[in-house]
């Protein structure tokens, strides 16, 4: 049977996904155990750290739980919790606890969480952990910690939003503990884990490469499919179809498909507008794979070719994107990269007569250049001096709101021992490359459209 070229490409993608082995255990139990040990070493003597997942999935955040808990355990399950004990030392404060495991993991037994009575299920087996207990035991175990002699408790508590709001469960629990004489000092857990998450391991890098590769294919399919008359949400559906068919079960953040005036709204995700001839559309998307997310932005002309005005602005942003990437490497200070981008963008706008000097740049360049990516699209850790293992974005942009003309070009870059590796190089960004790809046949979903009856 003969298939058109587009169908052949889609069939090959499906076969490849079917035959490729799933990357289920890219990070080993030993890697997670090493992270837990590093955190324990950073904790104050005699202290304890408590990390918890949400008790159940919620409609607002289905299956998305506590990133730090996942980073230290590889476990993504409702009701899971981890307790870490620092080394016990005598002296002021005395020993924190009797001899026992340095870490205790609480998880529900497989298939038993909703059926078994509290405490009835057998502790599930989880390789690599010193002690594993049923999740049903965690509340009483936590009570024992808070009412015990431990001087410092690391806990990222859930806080109420205002003084007039009801206390959260955490705030009520901590108040009850203090009312009963608890005298521990409460400290946040996140600052001890953030420095580790800033540098990605080889296994994390492989996962991020996969997330980036999937997102690259989605960007390419968006270029093939975009056309006047299509709604932003329809283009979004094509993008997220490419995600899911490649094993990325959800976006890492709300997909941004902003056309015309919406191209100037940084976090536009309503995606409700019908794209018109002559529009630019900013496509800022990221596939989440194995809980890690990519983040790629391309700006494309809905009609398939850039107007002169669009191209003039686009080339300024592209030059800044390329120059910034060329500067990246270990030991580079991001403030120097930012300064170079500001210089290029400002010079381009001066040449076009939009500003008189660099002082006017912020009218058109209204966001930062870079952030880390990982378990979050804006991952933890500050960007100062770059180090090998960091994965960051480079995303200059210019926004002419009076003209409804916004351009952003964003790539994901791994800092290596000797320089950098652009994880998103496969997504076209040169003007001629974009226009050439947009001439290819895109995903045809017309058979699924429900057309209103003729009047």
Give the CA angle between residues 177, 179, 181 to the nearest 5°.
75
Residues sharing a CB contact under 8 Å with residue 13, sequence separation 6 or more, in sequence order: 217, 245, 246
Give the Cα separation of 425 and 408 in Å (integer): 16
Query: Backbone dihedral region of 259: left (phi > 0), alpha (psi from -120 to 50 degrees) or beta?
Result: beta
Listed as own residue / partner, the contacts of 189-195 with beta carbons closer than 8 Å and 24 or more positions apart are 189/49, 189/50, 189/51, 189/68, 189/154, 189/155, 189/156, 190/68, 190/156, 190/380, 192/39, 192/42, 192/43, 192/49, 192/154, 193/39, 193/68, 193/71, 193/72, 193/380, 194/380, 194/381, 195/381
Helix and strand totals (H; E) in the chain: 11, 17
Q: At which residue do the structure tokens 């804006």 appear?
A: 378
Give which of 97, 101, 81 is closest to 89, Cα–Cα: 97
**Whole-Å CA distances, 383 to 153, 377, 380:** 28, 14, 10
3-state secondary structure of 155: strand
Measured over the CA atoms of residue 266, residue 271, residue 272 and residue 274, the dihedral's sign is positive
3-state secondary structure 375-423: CCCCCCCCCCECCCCCEEEECCEEEEHHHCEEEECEEEEEECCCCEEEC
Residue 438: is it exposed, middle or buried by C-beta count within 10 angstroms (0-12/13-18/19+)? buried
Give the Cα separation of 354 and 339 in Å (integer): 20
State how far Cα 396 lies from the chain centre.
Answer: 19
Give the Cα separation of 168 and 188 in Å (integer): 16
Catalytic residues: 60, 267, 284, 295, 367, 371, 378, 395, 399, 408, 410
């Amino acid at each position: 049977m003969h298939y058109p070229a587009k169908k052949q490409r889609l069939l090959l993608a499906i076969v490849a996904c079917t035959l490729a082995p799933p990357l289920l255990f890219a990070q080993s139990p030993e890697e997670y155990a090493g992270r837990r040990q590093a955190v324990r070493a950073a904790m104050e003597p005699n202290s304890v750290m408590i990390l918890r997942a949400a008790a159940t999935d919620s409609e607002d955040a289905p299956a998305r739980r506590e990133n730090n808990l996942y980073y230290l355990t590889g476990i993504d399950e409702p009701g899971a919790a981890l307790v870490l004990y620092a080394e016990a030392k005598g002296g002021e404060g005395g020993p924190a606890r009797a001899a026992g495991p340095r870490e205790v993991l609480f998880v529900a037994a497989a298939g038993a969480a909703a059926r078994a009575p509290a405490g009835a299920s057998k502790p599930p087996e989880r390789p690599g952990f010193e002690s594993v207990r049923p999740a049903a035991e965690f509340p009483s175990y936590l009570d024992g910690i808070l009412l015990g002699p431990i001087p410092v408790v690391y806990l990222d508590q859930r806080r109420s939003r205002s003084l007039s709001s009801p206390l959260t469960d955490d705030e009520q629990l901590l108040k009850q503990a203090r009312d009963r004489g608890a005298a521990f000092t409460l400290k946040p857990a996140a600052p001890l884990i953030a420095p580790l998450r800033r540098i990605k391991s080889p296994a994390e890098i492989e996962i991020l490469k996969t997330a980036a590769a999937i997102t690259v294919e989605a960007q390419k399919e968006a270029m093939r499919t975009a056309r006047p008359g299509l709604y932003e949400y329809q283009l979004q559906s094509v993008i997220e179809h490419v995600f899911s068919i490649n094993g990325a079960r959800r976006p890492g953040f709300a997909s941004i498909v902003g056309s015309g005036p919406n191209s100037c709204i940084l976090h536009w995700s309503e995606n409700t507008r019908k794209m018109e001839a002559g529009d630019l559309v900013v496509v800022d998307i990221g596939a989440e794979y194995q809980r890690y997310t990519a983040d790629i932005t391309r700006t494309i002309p809905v009609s398939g070719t850039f107007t002169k005005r669009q191209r003039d602005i686009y080339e300024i942003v592209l030059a800044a994107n390329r120059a910034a990437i060329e500067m990246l490497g270990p030991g580079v200070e991001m403030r120097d990269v930012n300064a170079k981008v500001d210089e290029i963008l400002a010079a381009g706008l001066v040449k076009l007569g939009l500003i008189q000097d660099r002082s006017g740049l912020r009218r058109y360049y209204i966001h930062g250049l870079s952030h880390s990516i990982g378990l979050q699209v804006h991952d933890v850790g500050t960007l100062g001096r770059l180090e090998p293992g960091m994965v960051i974005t480079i995303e200059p942009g210019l926004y002419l709101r009076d003209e409804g003309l916004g351009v952003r070009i964003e790539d994901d870059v791994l800092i290596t021992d000797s320089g950098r590796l652009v994880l998103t190089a496969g997504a076209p960004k040169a003007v001629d490359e974009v226009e050439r790809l947009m001439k290819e046949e895109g995903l045809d979903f017309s058979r699924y459209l429900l057309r209103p009856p003729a009047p």
